[in-house]
Amino acid sequence: MKQPTANKLLKGAAIGQSGRLEIVNNATSTLADKLGLVPDELSRPLTDKMTEVYENSRRIGIQAKELSTKTAQLKALTGQWKTLSSGVENKVKEFGDVQNWAEMIDQDLRVLEETIKQAKRLR
């Protein structure tokens, strides 16, 4: 068997090295591409959650404004009801006073009537 010469060995090594270099370059490129996707894969769920939190915050803000408006309306309505109930209460008191006055007049008239009857009997 013939021994390979140094030139042939160097040529074979150079060819093998260029093949290995190509494999390493391809692997490096593939790794860089894959690593480039990692930040996107990690940030996508966070971005989605941040968007959801922002939307929820916006909705809560809208609901807070609506609640504030409704509360102000309820406060105004409560004031109206309070005024109305106070007026009704005064009318009821007045009616009670009138009824009491009428009962006193009725009692006085009965006393007068009885007095007149007794005076007629005595004549």
Inform me whether the pLDDT recorded for 7 exceeds 70. no
What pLDDT, on a 0 to 100 scale, did the predictor assign at position 12? 65
pLDDT tens digits, one per residue of 42-62: 778 888 899 999 999 999 999
Residues 60, 63: Cα–Cα separation, whole Å = 5
Residues 121, 123: Cα–Cα separation, whole Å = 5
0.85 cut: is pTM over it? no
Percent of the chain with pLDDT over 70: 85
